[in-house]
Chains A and B, each alone.
Chain A
Amino acid sequence: DSGVTQTPKHLITATGQRVTLRCSPRSGDLSVYWYQQSLDQGLQFLIQYYNGEERAKGNILERFSAQQFPDLHSELNLSSLELGDSALYFCASSARAGTHTEAFFGQGTRLTVV
């Protein structure tokens, strides 16, 4: 167990719908990353938050948004879903204050858009 919790584990929804994926980082970790992994593909960086603020943005679609709350959990919102959004979405956390940077991944949320 990495200490990073993602919910839900599986999600099936229809095209055009909106979903929210949730990530609870390891206790004390300030940084949360979101990645998308389509079938047999690599880890595509979406967005990163550090202590509540957006730190970096990758190839995140405008239909997607995220935020990190004061308790450091993060949510990834995906709207107007398309079939191509079906993928495994991972979050990772790192950077406990004052220490280094190993990133731990959650188990992922498998999103299926039908």
Chain B
Amino acid sequence: GENVEQHPSTLSVQEGDSAVIKCTYSDSASNYFPWYKQELGKRPQLIIDIRSNVGEKKDQRIAVTLNKTAKHFSLHITETQPEDSAVYFCAALNTGFQKLVFGTGTRLLVSP
């Protein structure tokens, strides 16, 4: 079955710096890769996603890249702000099988 590894587990940056979180997946049939942000005590919420027919997607300060050959995908946050502090989860899905598997999460701390 699918296995998703996520690094780093914690990431501390200064406000205005960039943050990068990386994930690898094992199932080459996975074709949908969402990223979720979870603030303390709240539910995970989708912030951006990418499908396997696309190499990169941007939404304002957030971007996601996908390397299908290497089975890597990454979340990039530019000009970080304190409100970006949260736990970020990557996930992979084989849409044919419909099983969503999450990485272990990255705790991002943005210091003013």
Binding site for B on A (CB under 8 A): 2, 31, 33, 35, 41-43, 45, 48, 50, 55-56, 90, 92, 94-95, 100-108
Q: How far is the CB of B46 from chain A (nearest CB, A)?
A: 6
CB atoms of A42 and B45 under 8 A apart: no
CB atoms of A90 and B89 under 8 A apart: no
Binding site for A on B (CB under 8 A): 1, 32, 34, 36, 42-46, 49, 89, 91, 93, 95, 97-105
CB atoms of B43 and A43 under 8 A apart: no
CB atoms of B43 and A102 under 8 A apart: no
Given that A42-B105, A43-B105, A107-B43 are known contacts, is A102 also in contact with B99, CB under 8 Å in the complex?
A: no
**B9 to A, closest residue via Cβ:** A42
Interface SS majority for chain A: strand
Cross-chain pairs A/B with CB under 8 angstroms, 5 sampled: A2-B43, A43-B89, A45-B101, A103-B34, A105-B36
CB atoms of B95 and A101 under 8 A apart: yes
Given that A2-B43, A43-B89 are known contacts, is A50 also in contact with B98, CB under 8 Å in the complex?
A: yes
CB atoms of B43 and A101 under 8 A apart: no
**A105 to B, closest residue via Cβ:** B43
CB atoms of B46 and A95 under 8 A apart: no
CA distance A90 to B41 in the complex (A): 12
Q: Which residues of A contact B101 (CB under 8 A)?
A: 45
CB atoms of B43 and A56 under 8 A apart: no
Given that A42-B89, A42-B102, A43-B89 are known contacts, is A100 also in contact with B95, CB under 8 Å in the complex?
A: yes
CB atoms of B100 and A103 under 8 A apart: yes
CA distance A75 to B77 in the complex (A): 37
